[in-house]
Every structure is written in C-alpha cells, then in structure tokens.
Amino acid sequence: MAVAEHLHFRDAAAAIGMSQPALSGAVSALEEVLGVQLVERTTRKVLLSPAGERLTVRAKAVLDAVGALLDEAEAVRAPFTGVLRLGVIPTVAPYLLPTVLRLVHERYPELDLQVHEEQTSSLLEGLAAGRLDLLLLAVPLGRPGITELPLFEEDFVLVAPDGHELGGRRDLPREALRELPLLLLDEGHCLRDQALDICREAGRAGGVPVTTTAAGLSTLVQLVAGGLGVTLLPRTALQVETGRNDQLSTGYFADPAPSRRIALAMRTGAARGGEFEAFADALREALRALPVRVLPARASTPVQVLPGEDPPGRVWL
C-alpha cells in the first residue's frame, strides 16, 4: 500500500519506517506468493501493473478490516482506555475543549485524548479514512456512513461596534440582517455557511455584499470593534471573544432565535460505538453549565444516513 501511494520505493520505505532494500524484497516476496507482477520498476519511479492496481483495492480492504479487528479487541478489553483521536472544528474548539478536557481528566484518566482542530471537510475525510475516531462539530452533516450523536443547540448573537443602534436589544428580528455590513469567516468554515443561511432566511438580497475578512473568530470580532461591520457569534464563543474588547455591543434575536446544533459524529458501526455514546451522555451533562440548550438523553438516538437515502433536514429527535 505504501508503494502504491508513493510510487517510489525510497519514499514508501521512509513513510513506513523500513529500509528500501527490505521493502523491495518484501514486495518481491509478495509477488512470488501471489504469482503476479504488482509493480513495474524503473530507474526513476515505480508504476503499478494492472494486477497491482486491482489488488491495491483489496489490500486496502484487508488493512481496514485488520484495523477494525484491533479496535474491537481494544474496546472489549477496556473501554475508555488507549487513544481517542478527536477532531474539532475551529469555531467549537476554543470554547468547548475546556469542558471536554476536564471531563476526560476527571472521569476517564486512562484515556489518551488526542485533539485535531480542522475544518469540517478535513474532519470528515479523516473520519472516513480512519485517521480520526470521533468528531465534535456542527450538524446535520447528511453524510452516508456517519452516525450523529446530538449534544446541544445554541443561539447566534449579533455583535456590533459599541454604540450601534442594535446593541443591547433582546428582541432583534431576523430581518435586521438584511442591510447590515456583515463580516464573516473565510470560505470553508461551516459557521460562514450557517450565517449565510440565516441571512437568506431573513430575506437578505443577493446584491447586499458580505465581507469575508477573517480566518478566525478572534480576528473577526476585533474587526467589528474597529467599526468595519457586524457579525454573528454562537453563544458559547460570546464571553471569550467579546470579553477582550470594551468597544463591542451585543444584540439578541427574538424567539425563535437563529441557532446551530453541535454533535459528536462517528463512523456508523464503529467498534467503539457504545463507548462513544456513553461519552456523549457524559459530555451532555457536563455542558449544562454553558449557555446552551442541552438536548435530553432521548435526543442521543443516533442519526444515520444510509447509502441511497436522502440526507435528513434540520430535525429534533
């Protein structure tokens, strides 16, 4: 598999920690056992033979199966031990990780938690490839093969420069977003897409410009404080981001306020699925101290999308 990926023996050997002669010999031995030529060797690079291309697909399935076997054995042997590779989106990580880390430290001291902060598309690729075990992100995802474990919903809050006419209000209509100079995150952030959806629901015309100027919420809020526009923040980020600057004001939307749902996501049928569901229950309890609507235990029923089915819309379970 390393040779098929790198198409170079030296690079493949370095990737898997073998010497180049040992790897070349191992591939030759595999070709002898299978009775087919897997690669074409040249002085500069390696090419897969037709048989090599076909068997690479099978080899990946074999390795995935072995990985699942080892995961299953580890889960049965001792839940909440070993490595848990958790992927988190940037608009959640700074605000929820303190709660997650505290929970793991207090309740699961034998768990080796490894955190990866990435955008949603990268997290989903990592989950599918087995690089990540569990994700903490905004849903619904509508992806086949992924089970969502909803945790909570949180409102969006309007953040404006100090003295703005909408600052301090607690009854903002969504229509207020129609003409405001709106600052959003860069392309690729799911929070940007959610904010744009809210604007469309509010009737914001396509011709009203939306300024994209920031890669993170901290920068975005500082731009608002400088009078460049307004933005939308999730409630969990509000205290952290607005507490750093006294040149900001906030406005709260009238019910039903625009909101987003945050959930854990795992591969459907994951070997540690039961463990992850228990982790979701514990995390849901720990989140009750935050300004969010924690979903009841019955809402943890997994949301599954099977191949061939239409993705679910935004629903309460």
Q: How many domains does the chain have?
A: 3
Residue 218 and residue 169 in one domain: yes
Least-confidence region, from 235-244, 260-269, 307-316 = 307-316
Task: Give the pLDDT of residue 59.
Answer: 93
Residue 89 and residue 234 in one domain: no
- The full 3-state SS of the chain, as one line of letters, equals CHHHHHCCHHHHHHHHCCCHHHHHHHHHHHHHHHCCCCEEECCCCEEECHHHHHHHHHHHHHHHHHHHHHHHHHHHHCCCCEEEEEEECCCCHHHHHHHHHHHHHHHCCCEEEEEEECCHHHHHHHHHHCCCCEEEEEECCCCCCEEEEEEEEEEEEEEEECCCCCCCCCCECHHHHCCCCEEEECCCCHHHHHHHHHHHHCCCCCCCCEEEEECCHHHHHHHHHCCCCEEEEEHHHHHHHHCCCCCEEEEEECCCCCEEEEEEEEECCCCCHHHHHHHHHHHHHHHHHCCCEECCHHHHCCEECCCCCCCCCCCCC
Which CATH number fits the domain that encloses residue 241? 3.40.190.10
Q: Is residue 317 part of a domain?
A: no
Residue 166 and residue 248 in one domain: yes
Residue 221 and residue 87 in one domain: no
Residue 29 and residue 93 in one domain: no
Residue 180 and residue 242 in one domain: yes
Residue 116 and residue 31 in one domain: no
The answer on pLDDT for 108 being more than 60 is yes
Selected residue with higher pLDDT from 315 and 99: 99
pLDDT for 146-187, tens place per residue?
A: 999 999 999 999 999 998 998 888 999 888 888 888 888 887
Residue 19 and residue 141 in one domain: no
Selected residue with higher pLDDT from 280 and 198: 280
Residue 66 and residue 99 in one domain: no
Q: Which of 32, 56, 76 is the last residue of a domain?
A: 76
Q: Which domain holds residue 227?
A: 157-252
For the full predicted model, state whether its pTM sits above 0.85. no
**Mean pLDDT for all residues in the chain:** 86
pLDDT for 25-82, tens place per residue?
A: 999 999 999 999 999 987 778 899 999 999 999 999 999 999 888 887 776 667 788 8
